[in-house]
Structure 1
Amino acid sequence: MNTTGPARRVTIVAARHREAVALVAAEGSGAELSVLCVEEDGKDGRAALDRALAEAERRGCRVMGPPRTVGGENGGGHAALLRELRALNPQRVRLADPDPVHVSYDGERDVPVHDEPAENADAALAGLAAAGELERESGTPVFVDCQRAGADGRSGTAAQPRYPHPAHWLTEGFDGRLSAFLPSAAGVVRWTQREPGGTAWRGPELLPGPRLMPGLRVVRDAHGFPHLFGLRRTPLKGGGDDIAVVRATQYRTGHPLTPWHSLGGPNPGSGRKSREVGFPAAGFDGVGGLFVFVRNFGHSVSYRHQGADGVWTPWQHLRGVRVADELVTVTTAGGEVELFARARDSAAVLRWYRSGPDGAWTEDRAVQFSPRPGSMAAGPEPGTVLFRDSRTNEPCVWWPGATGPVPLGGADDGAGLVTGVRGVEADGWSYSLLVRSGPGRACAVGVHAEGRADAGVWWNALPVDSAVMPAVVRDRTGTVTLATLVAGFRLRLSHRASPSDGFEFGHWYTV
């Protein structure tokens, strides 16, 4: 989805003018847009960017002056880029993919081949470093979007973010208090509820994550502890960078996380291969085991498993169809973790499942839905997947054994994920409550009888926009809380007006 929303000040950092064109085109309406180029470009590149900026103004952006070239100015490089970012004070920085996917492999030289200029990745890493430094020195969050290049073999598909924002970024802790986690240029930003059910919060607070890339996955275990997953970049002694999957856990709400523990990666030790590791997906099974999945360098799936005894397996590989960097885990009613992945070179979805805790993984190629890229998420009911249909954009749900996807209504020009919670009680019945982004980053809530999405969904617009995907949580008392992110990096929240009657939400408050 376009995650700019009410966070208006957006700065694009690109290698040259021509490389900024696609980044400008990806920006939605309403942004105050500025462009920084690391190198000067020729006449054609400058003209192409001028046209892209004029088109951005026509769709509702405000262009804040002409593009500036920073690479050759006083101080050059990082210092010049940081000076410009200080002056612009962006709320969001948009970059190219710092680790583009290879298109072939040169076996003779033993190196991957890319169709993206190396300068694009260099500029993205420079922009990310400068944005992180700006956030640390200012104390104000800076959010980053990296637009993936060449991630999907299908023609006509829109570029997707390299690092996803979390779907379930609002979560309940062990003590009943809520926490909100979002990735930023300098690590992870957290807001903490002061008392269970209360409207007083603390934050935003930067939880340092040295060399973390700007994406996040939040998964809650059966005990109520949130686990955070991401990617961390580490320089290699021989040159280049290694990227590893990392994990941290919040055992006490509002207190420091555990250290970020490295799980390594499926292609360790190779700065050329490990940097293409996909973003991790993770899920807990019914006995407390943890599975972590990633797309590997060869575009298949690799995983590690931590048993309930805390012992990790090494990285193992699931053979099968090549997949895109879009993996989703679900946990079934029987407590088994299943994996869904969008195929790289077709509109298909692949599913992997096991016959039992010790069973072998089976690949299912008969999944009967085709999602829009970037729209899959675990549904609120066990074993279900939510997505937007590739043809209609309508939110849908599917589960193994269904005769086909079940449309949920709300086929508008919104984008991105649909998520939700189950067990919302009303008039003696149990309902699932869904949230999604609509046109212009508006937010909407939908409700259907639990287990009966085919009976219809009632959608209602919310009186609030959000700079990121809205989040919802149902706590142990049955209270349902909605959260959005508004201008100035402030949370805006609302609680369901009644714990047992109707689906109206009360006063919205900002923290």
Structure 2
Amino acid sequence: MTDQHRVPPQPGGRATRFPVKRRVVLGTAFAGGAVATAGLLLRPWQSDPAAGTDETGDGRVHMQIVAHPDDDLYFFNPDVAQCIRDGKPMVTVCITCGEGDGRNGPDTEEQDYESYVAARYNGLRAAHADMTLKKPLAEWTREKLKFKAGPTAELATLKSEPRIQLVFLNLWSNAEKPGVKGRRLKQLWEGETDEHETLVPAASPIGKKYGYDRETLLKVLAELLDRYNPVVVRTMDPDPDAQEHDAANPRYADQKGYSDHEDHTPAGLFAWEALRSWWKDGNGDNTVVESYRGYYGRRWPRNLSAKARKDKGRTMNVYAWRDERECGDPNGCGDLNITGKGVGTAYGASTTYRYSGDTGWLRRTGDKRLFAALVRGGRAVQWLEPESGSDETNSFSLVGTDLMLPSLNTCTSGAGVWHTVGVTAAFTEEPGSHTRNLLVRDFTFTGATGQWRSLGNPDADRKGRKRRGVGMPVAVAVGEGRLLVAARNYDRSVSVRHRTASGSWDDWKHLDGPVVQDGLSAVSLKTDTADIFASAADGVVQWHRDGGSWDQSTLDTVVPAGPPTAVALPDSRVLLLVREAETARLFGYVGDGSEDGWKDELDLGGDGGVGSIAALAPKSWSGRVGIAVRNDAGTVSVTVLDTKRDKKPKWRDGGPVIVHMPSLALDGTGRLTAGAIDADGRLHLARQAQPGIGAPENWTVVAR
């Protein structure tokens, strides 16, 4: 959250607070104090360092890398809370201390940066203790963490649940102050400043300030990745949306021209570059990455259900010290600059993934074996079922070496030929040198494994930062050997590129239409036609291609909470699925693809959740459709909808807490099969007990 702009007052006002007292350094403000050397200190939850195991099982750690001390609460939750409840070891790394103007609360006149930072850290520790134990005042051990790169940070460990840790690097958010060396995180990333100092918070175990340059911060983050070897890493958004600021869209605390805080973007870039370096050194082959939108959430309808907002809001209330608890630190027990109750009415009411998770990653080969195309360790990998219908495990195989963003989409053009599309990235300190290029891989399971080919970037002829606005691509076959690839562009509309029957590619074409969210869906009902769907602020936008021409219309749906999903039915109709804003309920619309050919909406219910929707309509199912979504518990909800009957389907919830989105396919025996990546980075499958009957059940690990 913003470190120098207070959140505008929101409905509900602000509860009366105890006044924040003048800072007094307490000798009992922290426990511990032993100097720890990164790479040598035993993780506090480990029981046997030689064996490399720990008390929680296999030690698969989740790491959050954030700019400010409340970013994981605002932007990554409910995901963090779900994984804490699931027992995962969790470490959050705060790069800057978020000192703001040094005043804790709108009514505070006295400026004290060190005291305000201490209060924010107290609030974050309390919030994590509350998510873990429902005890905001639970005790923490606070100690020094010395890095080989030079600086020392604070390591805070929840005493009764040592799997929960916080690391505070303490860089000034805005070092352009008298007597302080440095500027902002953006200038540090771009190499415009060679020293950026840290702040020493009140009552901190860190006794002096340190200096960072760009390489030092990258080395420190790499040391932390080495120390924890995380299986899941969550980052800020390195590629924020363009945003025109005007009377209708006030700037608030956005950076100029973009919909996010100026510290969030370089925090995301530093995290991704540290990961790239770590992976290059042969580490983290199984690591899964998720990046989250920041202030983007205030520009779009709220996507969390009422229950999810309440749960997230409880944690925010603890951080903001709304319970007026007495924590024993006169610096303050939370951040009084957070006004309004719970998640508020701005960005806290949504959780949005920057690289919108695709649901088209689980498919079936010509010999009836399932396969999955995913990104792990920053590279494209593939899993293949050992035998048709088998729950035996098999390893992932590497099918790409370039750094890939987290989501892949796979489709077939028939005759056993498959096509996977994704985005490769290079993060550079020079703003104009970044690359975000779309790639396509054509492959079979009976011949060549397939090479990746660059499709360039829809905004390749524009300035470097504008090339970073590309979304996650989708592909659809529009005839034998012909392929259409679509992606959101910098202008927040849609661009397409078409491969002809001869194998040559047309140039990128920008389609006219309104601003839409990322997360496209595409279907083709007959040769040389295609329909692309995306969510706008007030409905779902449809682009229809017939031959070489495109028409665009906005469909009258519920206000979308996120990406829509379209699936072709056997009778040449389309089922369009949309989550509703504010409720996260699922609604369906059946039509023939024409603007006026959509049937009345179907209220499909569901159990909340965010993200893309998986759907599968096998030809043999006569209009029945399998549907799978990520729900409010972070697990998977699955149902089978009969589009020919006006009856609300029954949902089956279960399986592991997951990352990314679920996917659906028919296995070799004809059973509907759901796939998901669990919070330990493992591939799970669940299958119907009998073909065509009931929802998939009995989740089983098939790849680690």
TM-score range, shorter chain: 0.7 to 0.9
Taking the aligned partners of 2:637 and 2:286, their CA distance within structure 1 comes to 26
Cα contact 1:299–1:323 (8 A) shared by 2: yes
1:162-173 to 2 correspondence within 5 Å?
A: 162-173=354-365
1:77 maps onto 2:217 in alignment: yes
In structure 2, do the counterparts of structure 1 residues 112 and 350 end up closer, same or farther at CA, with 3 Å as the change threshold?
Answer: same
Structure 2 counterpart of 1:422: 617
Aligned residues: 492
1:203 Cα deviation after fit:
1.4
Cα contact 2:76–2:292 (8 A) shared by 1: no
Q: Normalized per residue, which structure has more strand?
A: 1
2:82 to 25, 29, 33: 29
Structure 1 counterpart of 2:52: none
1:330 maps onto 2:523 in alignment: yes
Cα contact 2:77–2:351 (8 A) shared by 1: no
Q: Look up the SS of the partner of 1:351 in the other structure.
A: strand
Q: CA offsets per residue over residues 405-439 of structure 1, 9 Å max, x none?
A: 211232x233333323223868xx76322222333
1:338 Cα deviation after fit:
0.5
Structure 2 counterpart of 1:154: 300
Cα contact 1:212–1:232 (8 A) shared by 2: yes
1:124-203 to 2 correspondence within 5 Å?
A: 124-135=268-279, 137-138=282-283, 140-151=285-296, 153-154=299-300, 156=346, 158-203=350-395
Structure 1 counterpart of 2:307: none
Q: Look up the SS of the partner of 2:414 in the other structure.
A: coil
In structure 2, do the counterparts of structure 1 residues 409 and 46 end up closer, same or farther at CA, with 3 Å as the change threshold?
Answer: same
1:271 Cα deviation after fit:
0.6
1:24 Cα deviation after fit:
5.2
Taking the aligned partners of 1:323 and 1:434, their CA distance within structure 2 comes to 24
Q: Look up the SS of the partner of 2:396 in the other structure.
A: strand
Q: Look up the SS of the partner of 2:423 in the other structure.
A: strand
Q: Look up the SS of the partner of 2:221 in the other structure.
A: helix
The residue identity in structure 1 corresponding to 2:92 is V
Structure 1 counterpart of 2:603: 407
1:273 Cα deviation after fit:
1.3
Mean Cα displacement is larger for which, 135-144 or 90-99?
135-144
Cα contact 1:9–1:90 (8 A) shared by 2: yes
In structure 2, do the counterparts of structure 1 residues 313 and 52 end up closer, same or farther at CA, with 3 Å as the change threshold?
Answer: same
Structure 2 counterpart of 1:58: 130
Taking the aligned partners of 2:669 and 2:76, their CA distance within structure 1 comes to 45
1:365 Cα deviation after fit:
2.3
1:364 maps onto 2:553 in alignment: yes
1:83 Cα deviation after fit:
0.9
Q: CA offsets per residue over residues 147-205 of structure 1, 9 Å max, x none?
A: 12344633646241111222022111243322112223421232211223333342133
Cα contact 1:171–1:226 (8 A) shared by 2: no
Taking the aligned partners of 1:254 and 1:60, their CA distance within structure 2 comes to 51
Q: Look up the SS of the partner of 1:11 in the other structure.
A: strand
1:119 Cα deviation after fit:
4.1
1:328 Cα deviation after fit:
1.8
Mean Cα displacement is larger for which, 79-88 or 191-200?
191-200
Cα contact 1:131–1:142 (8 A) shared by 2: no
Structure 1 counterpart of 2:565: 377
Cα contact 1:471–1:482 (8 A) shared by 2: yes
| TM-score, normalised relative to structure 2 | 0.63
Q: Look up the SS of the partner of 1:122 in the other structure.
A: helix
Structure 1 counterpart of 2:228: 88
| TM-score, normalised relative to structure 1 | 0.84
In structure 2, do the counterparts of structure 1 residues 105 and 262 end up closer, same or farther at CA, with 3 Å as the change threshold?
Answer: farther
Taking the aligned partners of 2:386 and 2:462, their CA distance within structure 1 comes to 43
Q: Look up the SS of the partner of 2:218 in the other structure.
A: helix
In structure 2, do the counterparts of structure 1 residues 490 and 18 end up closer, same or farther at CA, with 3 Å as the change threshold?
Answer: closer
Structure 2 counterpart of 1:3: none
Q: CA offsets per residue over residues 262-317 of structure 1, 9 Å max, x none?
A: 33323435212111122223222245432222222222222111122212111112
1:68 maps onto 2:68 in alignment: no
The residue identity in structure 1 corresponding to 2:538 is A
Compute the RMSD of aligned alpha carbons. Answer: 3.4
In structure 2, do the counterparts of structure 1 residues 78 and 84 end up closer, same or farther at CA, with 3 Å as the change threshold?
Answer: same
Cα contact 1:247–1:261 (8 A) shared by 2: yes
Q: Look up the SS of the partner of 1:341 in the other structure.
A: strand
Structure 2 counterpart of 1:221: 413
Structure 2 counterpart of 1:439: 632
Q: Look up the SS of the partner of 1:439 in the other structure.
A: coil
Cα contact 2:689–2:696 (8 A) shared by 1: yes
Cα contact 1:191–1:201 (8 A) shared by 2: no
Q: Which runs of 5+ in 2 are unaligned?
A: 1-57, 100-113, 134-160, 172-209, 247-254, 302-345, 592-596
1:309 maps onto 2:502 in alignment: yes
Taking the aligned partners of 1:436 and 1:406, their CA distance within structure 2 comes to 16
The residue identity in structure 2 corresponding to 1:161 is Y
Q: Which runs of 5+ in 1 are unaligned?
A: 1-5
Cα contact 1:29–1:60 (8 A) shared by 2: no
Q: Look up the SS of the partner of 1:310 in the other structure.
A: coil
Cα contact 1:7–1:92 (8 A) shared by 2: no
Cα contact 1:287–1:308 (8 A) shared by 2: yes
The residue identity in structure 2 corresponding to 1:227 is H
1:392 maps onto 2:583 in alignment: yes
Taking the aligned partners of 1:209 and 1:112, their CA distance within structure 2 comes to 35
Structure 1 counterpart of 2:673: 481
In structure 2, do the counterparts of structure 1 residues 182 and 53 end up closer, same or farther at CA, with 3 Å as the change threshold?
Answer: farther
Q: CA offsets per residue over residues 95-145 of structure 1, 9 Å max, x none?
A: 111111222399xxxx97336454432221221232344445235411111
Cα contact 2:357–2:611 (8 A) shared by 1: no
Highest RCO, 1 vs 2 (Cα 8 Å, sep ≥ 6):
2
1:489 Cα deviation after fit:
2.5
Structure 1 counterpart of 2:486: 293
Cα contact 1:151–1:159 (8 A) shared by 2: no
1:485-500 to 2 correspondence within 5 Å?
A: 485-499=677-691
Mean Cα displacement is larger for which, 240-249 or 464-473?
464-473
Q: Look up the SS of the partner of 2:501 in the other structure.
A: coil
In structure 2, do the counterparts of structure 1 residues 299 and 495 end up closer, same or farther at CA, with 3 Å as the change threshold?
Answer: closer
